[in-house]
Amino acid sequence: MAETDGMSPAPPLRTLIVDDEPLAVERMQVICSRIEGITVIGTASDGQAALRLIEALNPDLVLLDLTMPETDGLAVARRLGGQANAPAVIFVTAHDEFAVEAFDLDAVDYVLKPVAPDRLQRAVARVVTRRGERAQPPASRWLDEFWVPYRSELVRVAAAEVHRIDAERDYVRLHVAGQNTGGQAAGGQNAGGQSYLLLQTITSLEERLDPELFIRIHRSCILQRSHVSGLRHEGLGVWSAETADGEALRIGRTYLPAVKKMAGR
């Protein structure tokens, strides 16, 4: 499926399947048998067994269920996170609400059940790509992408494509300019493109966004800096940020000094 140097094919990914449902394990084995570039070397039905097999077999990839009794998939991933040469992890689950935490644990992908073979194949391709990039410099501490629920799967949204983030209680809405996914996602479209809901508070998300790329203008709004086209004084100390798509968004007093500093004032 991939080549390491343009000449010789990469060795197959030695893969461990972890799921507490026997039928789910069997289905994953069947799907994996049809994907070029991986070979299943074992299965485990709980988190503790998975950790033992990972230590014994040293797999390249773990297809990891999230919800298992006692030691769940997130706990397994946390344990692996502190190990040298840990295997790549693809979470395979029926639940989309753990996506943020999963990617904080450096999961390569997050595949929703029932698993579609082509979806898993794309996830495996990401593992192969990442394996080829291991010699690259360390990744930035800032988020460069989001994985958000869309229909029956999670889709990747590059942080650079998000021009506005609004708080909606325990969620945030990501507004993506000019992206066309062919339908309405997780709450709707805006005039400039698509919007997606993500289970994450705006304050915790702000801590993971590159301050060179994003600026918070209000307790319920973050803007991409390049999306701000100007500032407008409304009188009585009230300011608004004018956006590239013609909106005027009020700037909170707490955030006004930082916004003015961005404008060199």
Structural domains of the chain, with CATH: 13-132 (3.40.50.2300), 152-265 (2.40.50.1020)
Per-residue pLDDT at 7 = 47
Contact in structure between 114 and 31 (CB atoms under 8 Å): no
pLDDT of residue 183 exceeding 60, the answer is no
Q: In which band, very low, low, confident or very high, does the pLDDT at 152 lie, cut at 50, 70 and 90? A: confident
Q: Which of 42, 56, 51 is nearest to 72 (CA)?
A: 51
pLDDT for the residue 224? 96
Q: What is the pLDDT of residue 186?
A: 42
pLDDT band for position 134 (50/70/90)?
A: low
In the numeric block, which tokens belong to residue 191? 């005039």
* Cis amide bond preceding 117, omega within 30: no
Look at residue 184 and give its three-state secondary structure.
coil
Which of 231, 244, 240 minimizes the C-alpha distance to 175?
A: 244
Q: Say which residues have a Cβ less than 8 Å from residue 123's Cβ, sequence separation at least 6.
A: 90, 108, 109, 111
Instruction: Give exposure, 35-61, as e/b (b: 16+ Cβ within 10 Å).
Output: bebbebbbbbbbbebbbebbeeeebbb
Percent of the residues in the chain that have a pLDDT greater than 90, as a whole number? 54
Beta bridge pairs of residue 40? 15
pLDDT at 248 exceeding the cut of 50: yes
Q: Where are the alpha helices (DSSP H) in the chain?
A: 22-33, 47-57, 73-81, 99-104, 117-132, 202-206, 256-262
CB distance 4 to 48 below 8 Å: no
Classify 113 in phi/psi space as left (phi over 0), alpha (psi -120 to 50) or beta.
beta
Percent of the chain with pLDDT over 70: 87
Write down the pLDDT at residue 138.
54
Put simply, whether the predicted model's pTM sits higher than 0.75 gets the answer no
Task: Say if residues 16 and 53 touch (Cβ distance below 8 Å).
Answer: yes
Q: Which residue has the higher pLDDT, 264 or 199?
A: 199
Helix (H, G, I), strand (E, B) or coil at 1: coil
pLDDT in tens, 110-133: 899 999 999 999 999 999 888 766
| The pLDDT of residue 107 | 86
210-241: string of b/e by CB count within 10 Å (b at 16+)? eeeebbbbbeebbbbeebbeebeeeeeeebbb
Helix or strand (DSSP H, E) at 215:
strand 214-218
Q: How confident is the model at residue 182 (pLDDT cuts 50, 70, 90)?
A: very low
User: 């973050």: which residue's tokens?
Assistant: 222
The closest alpha carbon to 54, from 33, 69, 70, 75, belongs to 75
Confidence of residue 3 (pLDDT cuts 50, 70, 90): very low
CB 78 within 8 A of CB 50: no
Please report, in angstroms and rounded to a whole number, the separation of the first and last CA atoms in the chain. Answer: 54
Report the pLDDT averaged over residues 148-152: 78
Whether the pLDDT of residue 30 is over 70: the answer is yes
Strands 221-224 and 162-168: antiparallel
Confidence of residue 178 (pLDDT cuts 50, 70, 90): low
pLDDT value, residue 8: 55
Cα distance between residue 202 and residue 233, in whole Å: 26
**pLDDT at position 139:** 57
Residue 140 has what pLDDT? 65
